[in-house]
Every structure is written in structure tokens, then in C-alpha cells.
A and B are shown apart, each in its own frame.
Chain A
Amino acid sequence: MNRLRAWLRRLAGIVPTQQQEREFSAELESHVQLHIDDNLRAGMTPKQARREAILKLGGTESTKQAHREGRTIPFLQTMIQDIRYALRQLRRSPGFTITAILMLSLGIGASIAIFAFVDAALIKPLPYADPTRLADVAEHGVAFPRSNLSYLDFRDWQRLNKVFTSLEAYGGWGYLLQTPSGVEPVTAARVSDGFFRTLGIRPILGRDFYSGEDQPNAPATVILAYGAWQRRFGGRKDIINQTIALSGTPTTVIGVLPEDFQFAPRGSAELWTTFHEQINCEKRRSCHNLFAVGRLKDGVSIQTAQTEMAAIAKQLEIQFPGSNRDQGAHIGSLSDLIVGKIRPILLVLLAGACLLLIIACVNVASLLLVRSESRRREFAVRGALGASPSRLIRQFITEGFVLVAAGTFAGLVAGAFAMCLLLSLVSKDMLSSMPYLVHLGLNSHVLLFAAAIALLAAVIFSLTPILRLPTAAMREALNEGDRGSAGTFWRRLGANLVVLELTIAVVLLVGAGLLGKSFYRLLHVDLAFEPDNLSTLYVSLPTTTYNKDELIVTGAHKIIDRVSTLPGVTSVAITSVIPTNGNGNTDWIRIIGHPFHGEHNEVNEREVSASFFKTIQARLIRGRFLTDRDDATRPRVTVINKAFADKFFPGEDPIGKKYGNGDLAPDSIKEIVGIVDNIRESSLDEEIWPAEYKAHNQDADSYFGLIVRTSGDERSILPAVAAAVHQVDPGIGTTDEQTMQQRISSSQTAYLHRSAAWLVGGFAVLALLLGVIGLYGVIAYSVSQRTREIGVRMALGAQRGTVYQLILREAGLLTAIGITAGLLCALGASTLLRGLLFQIRSWDISTLVLVAIVLGAAALIASFIPARRAASINPVEALRAE
């Protein structure tokens, strides 16, 4: 206890107070006075008495010093002294300090921001109970390695498997919800009864689905997502057991999910219901609309589960050859499903940020080296005056730590800012598919990471100048003459560091060039339609009123007619899926007259209005487009795309040919009337699939996309289009209002490519800048060290041109080595990028050449300035100065 108390008091004593100092002076004075009194009484002269008293005390100053040290902790005290001295030193050279802190904060800020994303997406476990045991369960089709699961298959899998403790399905859905501002389509998800129990999620209010609540005879119930509960129902607790109308069906609210609940595959779902109301698709084994999540039994690996589920799928294939031909099983980990796509990009970005950090550290280290060089004499003098080597080293370490502390603090601020900026660039839709990014921030992981970086940097920065100052040689430094040799040492080390910087800059530049080029190619991929001036939205007709195909068709026509009257609108069309949305919504076809063995010929299936091709300005290759006369009263017709013709009719004329579904059901037979160019239905980086365009008039769906071509601004007309749709029937819901260009540039593919290209591009520019500054520093320092040599050369008759050559050759050599090493490393590094590249090889010659030219030019400019200075040296002054 006493020890502790003493320590605390000494700790408090670190803050030096004048009062303590004064008090002790007074005490000593009274001590001396008392002693003098005694001595006088013993018969000494006053002078003698005073002398004897002070002698006996052992000197006032040394006593004071001993007392002072006793008051505090000497180690901390000197540390504070060192810090104050370091701060004073840094203040004295603000240029150095600001540059160093700026570079450090840049490197640290960038790596912290990226690390925060990595942490949120890849390091933190998914917010479910024991998330590593959760598996993503799907079917495996010929065209899709991971395809939707059919409801009937799911039930069989659930019943037959022995690898999962539970296997539950989920699927996307939408409801029309009556709100004060009209009918709104609300994103929902339908799940099997044990879905939340499998994830290990419990509602914070109300209850989970009972088992059996997903059966057709069960009452309709819904669980609300927390956000929906807050936003749509005001967070009222009495919402439980109330009945709300979902697309006209009275449904009881039974629970509310926790605020931090997230399920990325259905990230935007606001309402969670069960499969109790079976839709048509779920009655057919050939219709695939679900995915599933399973909890692996203890000791069962993903591979074991894959083998077992594949065997079950095989069994079903034998049992149901028509629907299940080639339908295998796909089992993966749930975390791969959720973050698999973003993982390579984040890792590339993290690598980029770390390279930038290395450059920044190297630059600061070189600055420190230069500084230690110019401070050799100062330290030699301090050493000569009696500072111990350990104390001098401590001074370096303190300065390194002070720099790093300032840099880290600034870096944290910059990093937090960068995080907000990056997050604000993510669109809301995108964020709903990456819900794990919501809790992004300066959490303990990120702070720990920052601390680790800071510690590493501090060690590097305190070691660099110490290496430079072998204590034994310190006395020699007092001697002016040995400057030359010291300069060579530094030049060699500095040069190596600069080559490293330039190498890293080349790697980053090449990476950025490749990513930028693939992003450009992605945005300029051939669409085979004209995307400008198109406004788009999705329309959902309430099935309670529009319960017959004829009603849907008339409704759709009313909408087209109404929207066509808007000013500026030149053409209006509908399609079941708006182009560039992605491959999917497929049909299995069988061509009449072609051999058929039950294989699944998968084609994209789109139902479009007659005006569709004209509106998006697609090119007709042969035959004719659909017309409004192709309605339910006439034989079914389709237009196919070029890929369809190439794949299924090689060397044949498809026009007039007929095809249907696998068993050629009479109502599925269609005649091909035209061939259209390969309209990009797939997302930008996917391949073009065969596609069929059926007449919406002949095969109507109550949910469809509306595409409007305007002569004016396509963005400003969007609200008017939505309003016009509501004028047709206020019960109609509209959603996802965007221009076609927005769809293209905000698609996930484009987003991922864009963010990768921009961020790596940013890193590369910074790296180029820092690398070139580093080169400038080295050359400038070399010139300043060689002033005398250059002076001698000029005095002996060297021309200015020769001096330029001398300096530029030195810079050119460093740059050439840096570029060569960089290009070699870039070749290796860019093969790692391969997965992120689009229509570009990882050894794209033009990118490599361009990078070499850019870096070479920048390096030339950076070394030209010191070369100019060298050439303008006045030989007389240069010689006199030494």
C-alpha cells in the first residue's frame, strides 16, 4: 500500500510545480540557519559558521537535485524533457515536420480506412450464432454453377439429408403495402419456419415463426425488420398481434427482428413471411426461385455436405428425369456467399494501401537520415559535453515517437474521414447487399491495427538515425574533414530506398492502369442498344384487381398510353426485366425438329411490348419485330437474339422455326419471327446468353419494367412517369426509378470496378508523387554534398552541359533501375489482379509502356531542378565555401 501511495505521489510529481521547489528551498534555508545558530553558539565566526553548515549539508544544489528526483520518477521526468526537446527541434524545422507528418498521415490514413473495410467485411464474423457452421445451399445447373433451388427439391433435401442439423430456405418477395402516401411496393423475403432459429436470431419483440407456420393451412404471419418497424410503424410495441394488409391479404404481425440483424442475400427485405401461401412456381419442380441456408452438424465439413447433397440430387434426378436433369447441388460457406465477391477487391486495395504506407515510411525515413546527417555535429557536441550514448539514442527514439504519434493521430482523423467518404459513395441499394458495412468505424480492431502500424513506424524511424550514428564514430564527427565519406554512405542507402519507392510506384501505377482500363472497357461494353435518354422503373399491378391476363394486358396498355402523353416522351415500352440487370429468369426450350434428349437448353426469357425494340433502339438482323397485333388471339411468336440463332440454329435459318418447353406443351409452342442483335440483358461483365423476347400481350405478368425514351432530360422526368402510372390506378405500385445510365453505372459490377480503379488510381498517384519527391530529395542532397566536387570540375573546365549530364545520369540510373524492377514486380502482381480485370490481359503492353513513360517523365522533372542548381554553381564560391 505504502509503495503504491508513494508511486502515485511521485507520478503526480511529474508535473513540476514551483511551489514544491520554493518550499524545499525555504526548508533548506531554515536548516542552514538553525545550523549557523548552533555554530555561532559554539563560537565560530559568522563566515565560518555558514561555511561549515553548507559543507555538512553536502552542498545546497546537489541536495535540491536529490530532492527533486525524489519528488518524481526520474525516467519519466527525462522522457518529458526529451519530448519537449524533440518538439522544439521539430518546431525549428517546420518544413521537415509538416512534410513528414503529412506523408505519414497519408499512408496511415489510407491503410486504416481500407483496413476498416477489410475488418467489417472479412475479419468480423457474420452476426449469427456459430457462423462458421452455416452453409449456403443451392442447386447446380448447367449454365449456373449456383442456381436457385426449387421448392419441392428443397423439401426433399430437407427431409433426406443427414449433414445439416437444420436446412431452411429463403426467397425474395414483394408486397404492396397501403401507406398514407399511397400504395408502396415493399421488399420482403419468404422463409421456411426454422430460418431464424438456424441463424441463431431471436426477435427482440414478439416471437419467431412456430414450426409448421410455413404450411399452406397456417394463418398468414409476418415478422418486421427493425428498420421497417421504426420507419413504417413508428416503433410501436403494440404492433405485435395487429393485422396489416399485405397485397390485400390480412396478415398478423408476430415479431420484430433485432436492430443489428442483417442477411446480405436478402439485405433490403423489410418484411419476413413464410411459404404458407404457395405461389405457382413452388408447385412445379422445374421452377427454381429459392436458396437455402443450412447449419452443418458437428464434424461435418462443407465437402462432406457437398458429396451427400450431390448424391441426394442424383437420386432426385433419377426419380424426376424431366425436371431434374443435370440439376446438382452446390454447397459453400455462407460467408463466401456474402463476402466472396468483395474479398479480392478489398485485398487488392489493402495491398495498395500498404504499399503506399511503405513508400510514405521510406520517404520519412530518408528525410530523417538527411536530418541526422546535418545534426551529426550537434550530437557530437552533446556527446562531448557528457551526454551518455543511451541518452542520445533515447533522444532519437523520442523524436521518432513524437513524429509517429503526430502522424498516427492525423492519420486516424484522415482515415475516419476517408471511411465516411468511401461509405457515402456506396449507393443505398449497394449497401443493402453489403449490410456488414453499416457498422464501419474506428472500432477496437482498427485502433489496434493503427497502433501496430504506428509502433512499427516508430521502431523504423528511431532505428534509422541510430544506425547512422555509430556512437564510437561520434567524436570523429567533430572533425569537419570526414563529411565526404558520410555523404557516400547516406547516398548509397538513400539511393536504395528511392529505387524501392519507384518500384512500388510502378507496381501501383500498373495496377491502377489495368483497373482503370478494364473499368473503361466495362462501361463501354457493347450494349446493342442506345442507353441515353432512357428513364426506367418497375411497375407492380396489384394481383387482387388484376387477376386475369386480359386485365393485366389492358392495364399495361393504359400505362403505356398514359405515359406516352407526357411532354418529351417519344416512346414507351415494357419488359419483364430491364436490360443490363443480369442473366437469369430463364426458360428451358426444345426446338421442334431438332434431336432432343431431355437436356436443359437455358435461354433468357423476356416478355416485352411491341414498342420495346424501337424504344431502346435495338437493331433488327432478320425477320420482323413484334407488333401490337401479336396478342392472345393469335399464335404465339417470339423474337430471338443473335446468340440464340448462333447456338441453336448454326447454318440454319431460324425464321419460321418453332420451339416449346421440354415436353412441348401445346401452349408453349412459339414461332420465331425475327432475330435481333445481342441486347445486353446480362450484367456488364457477364457473357451474352441466348435470349427469347415473347410478346407481353401473349404472356402477361403483373410485375414488369417500364422503359421511357424522352427527348429531354431523362432524370427529371422520372417523378412525372411514376405519377402518370399512379393516375392510371392509385393501387399500382412503382419502384426502383432510375435512368438507364444510372442503372449501368450504379450496377454492382460497375461499382466494384469503379471503386477498385479509383482507389488504386488514387494510391498510385500518391505513390508517384511520394516516389518522385523521394528521388528529388536524394538528388538534391547529392548535389548539395557534391558542391565542392562540381566546383572543382567546373574550375577545371567542365561545361554546364557536362554537369547536367553528371547529375541527370545519376537520377536516370536510379529511375531506370526503379522502373525495370517495378515492371517486373508489376507483371507478378498483376496476375493476382486477373480476377478483377475485364477484357484486358494482365500484361497489357500499352499500360506498361505508358506507366514507364509517365514515371520516367516525372523523374526527369524531379531531377532536373537539382541538376539546374548544380549547373549554376559558381566554382569560385563553391571552392571558397569549403
Chain B
Amino acid sequence: MGDKTDVWQGTLALMVLKTLESMGPLHGYGIARRIEQTSGDILSLNYGTLYPALLKLEQEGAIASEWGVSENNRKAKFYKLTRAGRRQLNQEARNWEQTTAILARFLAPSEDAS
């Protein structure tokens, strides 16, 4: 379970940060929905796994939270990106792009493969 979760947690954290950057402050449910929507509903997220990820990001100081009221007048805890979180997002996004670019090059059909 361990390794897989770590990778997943890593990418999940990146998705959370990106979501918060584009959407502004948002509650946990909203983040989950937004991630699903962005993935074009390919990703089916177990919403419960989001909360440890949020907790970890908050402990690291990448996001901050406070209680607020949702658009339909429900009390909810809103998360927002901190300056450190923005730095982390840029850093990790770059890393991710690099990784996928390398992997893409590996997986691209080779010319002399037949």
C-alpha cells in the first residue's frame, strides 16, 4: 500500500494546490468535486483520502484554513493557498512537467523499433 499511496498523495497534493490557485479559497468538498470535474470525471476520488492530504499540506504551511459560510449558507472550513504553498506549487509543477516529459520520450514509439 505504502509506495502507491505516496505517489498518489504526492500528485493529489499537487492537484489540491493547483485547484486552490485557480479557484481561490475553497472547502474540502469543493476541492474534491473540482478535481473530479477537472479530470473529466476520469478520476474517481475517494473523498475521505483528501483530508489527510489537506492536513499534511496545512502542517507544511502550504495552505491555511478558516471557517466560513458556503454559497448555499452552510458552515464549512475553507482552505486557501499561502505564499509558501504558491512556491511549492510552482516547484512541483515544474518537476512534474519534467518527469512526464521524460516519461513521454521513453514511451514514444521509437523510430528503429519494428
Query: Chain B contact residues: over half helix, strand or loop, or mixed?
Result: helix
| Interface: A187 (CB within 8 A) | no
- The answer to whether A70 touches B56, judged by C-beta atoms less than 8 angstroms apart, is yes
Chain A residues with Cβ below 8 Å from B51 are: 24, 27-28, 63, 66-67, 70
Chain B residues with Cβ below 8 Å from A58 are: 46-49
| Interface: A3 (CB within 8 A) | yes
Provide the bound-state CA to CA distance between A71 and B54, in Å. 11
- The answer to whether A30 touches B49, judged by C-beta atoms less than 8 angstroms apart, is no
- The answer to whether A31 touches B46, judged by C-beta atoms less than 8 angstroms apart, is no
- 8 A Cβ contacts from A1-28 to B: 2-3, 5-6, 9-10, 23-24, 26-28
- The answer to whether A70 touches B55, judged by C-beta atoms less than 8 angstroms apart, is yes
Q: How far is the CB of B90 from chain A (nearest CB, A)?
A: 14
Report the tally of A-B residue pairs with Cβ distances under 8 A. Answer: 76
| Interface: B59 (CB within 8 A) | yes
| Interface: B22 (CB within 8 A) | no
Provide the bound-state CA to CA distance between A867 and B59, in Å. 65
Residue-wise interface mask of A (35-52) relative to B, using a CB-CB cutoff of 8 A (1 in contact, 0 not): 101100000000000000
Provide the bound-state CA to CA distance between A31 and B76, in Å. 7
Q: How far is the CB of B104 from chain A (nearest CB, A)?
A: 29
- 8 A Cβ contacts from A46-73 to B: 56-59, 62-63, 66-67, 69-71
Q: A30-B75, A31-B28, A58-B46 are in contact. Are A2 and B55 (CB under 8 A)?
A: no
- The answer to whether B60 touches A57, judged by C-beta atoms less than 8 angstroms apart, is no
| Interface: A661 (CB within 8 A) | no
| Interface: A198 (CB within 8 A) | no
| Interface: A34 (CB within 8 A) | yes
| Interface: A735 (CB within 8 A) | no
Q: Which of A3, A34, A63 contacts B27 (CB 8 A)?
A: A34
Q: Which of B27, B46, B62, B77 contacts A2 (CB 8 A)?
A: B62
- The answer to whether A62 touches B48, judged by C-beta atoms less than 8 angstroms apart, is yes
- The answer to whether B47 touches A57, judged by C-beta atoms less than 8 angstroms apart, is yes
Chain A residues with Cβ below 8 Å from B61 are: 2, 5-6
Chain A residues with Cβ below 8 Å from B33 are: 38
Can you name the residue of chain A whose Cβ is closest to the Cβ of B88?
Answer: A2
Q: A5-B61, A56-B46, A62-B48 are in contact. Are A30 and B76 (CB under 8 A)?
A: yes
- The answer to whether A6 touches B59, judged by C-beta atoms less than 8 angstroms apart, is yes
- The answer to whether A3 touches B60, judged by C-beta atoms less than 8 angstroms apart, is yes
Residue count of chain B within 8 Å CB distance of chain A = 25
Q: Which of A2, A23, A31, A33 contacts B60 (CB 8 A)?
A: A2
Residue-wise interface mask of B (89-103) relative to A, using a CB-CB cutoff of 8 A (1 in contact, 0 not): 000000000000000
Residue-wise interface mask of B (50-82) relative to A, using a CB-CB cutoff of 8 A (1 in contact, 0 not): 011001100111100000001010111100000
Q: Which of B49, B76, B84 contacts A34 (CB 8 A)?
A: B76
Chain B residues with Cβ below 8 Å from A59 are: 48
Query: Chain A contact residues: over half helix, strand or loop, or mixed?
Result: helix
- The answer to whether A5 touches B52, judged by C-beta atoms less than 8 angstroms apart, is no
Q: A30-B27, A35-B29 are in contact. Are A66 and B60 (CB under 8 A)?
A: no
Can you name the residue of chain A whose Cβ is closest to the Cβ of B51?
Answer: A67
Can you name the residue of chain B whose Cβ is closest to the Cβ of A29?
Answer: B75
Q: A3-B60, A59-B48 are in contact. Are A30 and B77 (CB under 8 A)?
A: yes
- The answer to whether B56 touches A63, judged by C-beta atoms less than 8 angstroms apart, is no
Can you name the residue of chain B whose Cβ is closest to the Cβ of A9?
Answer: B59
Q: Which of B47, B48, B72, B88 contacts A37 (CB 8 A)?
A: B72
Q: How far is the CB of A434 from chain B (nearest CB, A)?
A: 57
Q: How far is the CB of B30 from chain A (nearest CB, A)?
A: 8
Provide the bound-state CA to CA distance between A27 and B29, in Å. 10
Provide the bound-state CA to CA distance between A9 and B70, in Å. 28
Q: Which of B30, B48, B74, B75 contacts A63 (CB 8 A)?
A: B48
Q: A9-B59, A30-B75, A35-B29 are in contact. Are A70 and B52 (CB under 8 A)?
A: yes
Provide the bound-state CA to CA distance between A876 and B99, in Å. 81
Chain A residues with Cβ below 8 Å from B75 are: 26, 30
- The answer to whether B52 touches A66, judged by C-beta atoms less than 8 angstroms apart, is yes
- The answer to whether B48 touches A66, judged by C-beta atoms less than 8 angstroms apart, is yes
Q: How far is the CB of B77 from chain A (nearest CB, A)?
A: 5
Can you name the residue of chain A whose Cβ is closest to the Cβ of B53?
Answer: A70
Q: How far is the CB of B81 from chain A (nearest CB, A)?
A: 14
Provide the bound-state CA to CA distance between A579 and B56, in Å. 83
Chain A residues with Cβ below 8 Å from B29 are: 30-31, 34-35
- The answer to whether A31 touches B52, judged by C-beta atoms less than 8 angstroms apart, is no
Q: How far is the CB of B29 from chain A (nearest CB, A)?
A: 4
Can you name the residue of chain B whose Cβ is closest to the Cβ of A32?
Answer: B29
- 8 A Cβ contacts from B1-58 to A: 27-30, 33, 46-49, 51-52, 55-56
- The answer to whether A34 touches B74, judged by C-beta atoms less than 8 angstroms apart, is yes
Chain B residues with Cβ below 8 Å from A28 are: 51
- The answer to whether B62 touches A31, judged by C-beta atoms less than 8 angstroms apart, is no
Q: How far is the CB of A742 from chain B (nearest CB, A)?
A: 71
- The answer to whether A71 touches B76, judged by C-beta atoms less than 8 angstroms apart, is no
Chain B residues with Cβ below 8 Å from A24 are: 51
Provide the bound-state CA to CA distance between A33 and B84, in Å. 31
Q: How far is the CB of B31 from chain A (nearest CB, A)?
A: 10
Can you name the residue of chain B whose Cβ is closest to the Cβ of A31?
Answer: B29
Can you name the residue of chain B whose Cβ is closest to the Cβ of A63?
Answer: B48
- 8 A Cβ contacts from A292-318 to B: none
Can you name the residue of chain B whose Cβ is closest to the Cβ of A33?
Answer: B74
Can you name the residue of chain B whose Cβ is closest to the Cβ of A62?
Answer: B48
Provide the bound-state CA to CA distance between A746 and B62, in Å. 74
Which residues of B are at the interface with A, using a C-beta cutoff of 8 A? Answer: 27-30, 33, 46-49, 51-52, 55-56, 59-62, 70, 72, 74-77, 84, 88
| Contacts beyond the supplied A2-B61, A30-B27: 6 A-B pairs with Cβ under 8 Å | A2-B62, A27-B76, A28-B51, A31-B29, A34-B29, A56-B47
Q: List 16 A-B contacts (CB under 8 A).
A: A2-B60, A2-B62, A2-B88, A6-B56, A10-B59, A27-B77, A30-B29, A30-B77, A31-B27, A31-B28, A31-B47, A33-B74, A34-B30, A58-B47, A59-B48, A63-B48
Which residues of A are at the interface with B, using a C-beta cutoff of 8 A? Answer: 2-3, 5-6, 9-10, 23-24, 26-28, 30-31, 33-35, 37-38, 56-59, 62-63, 66-67, 69-71
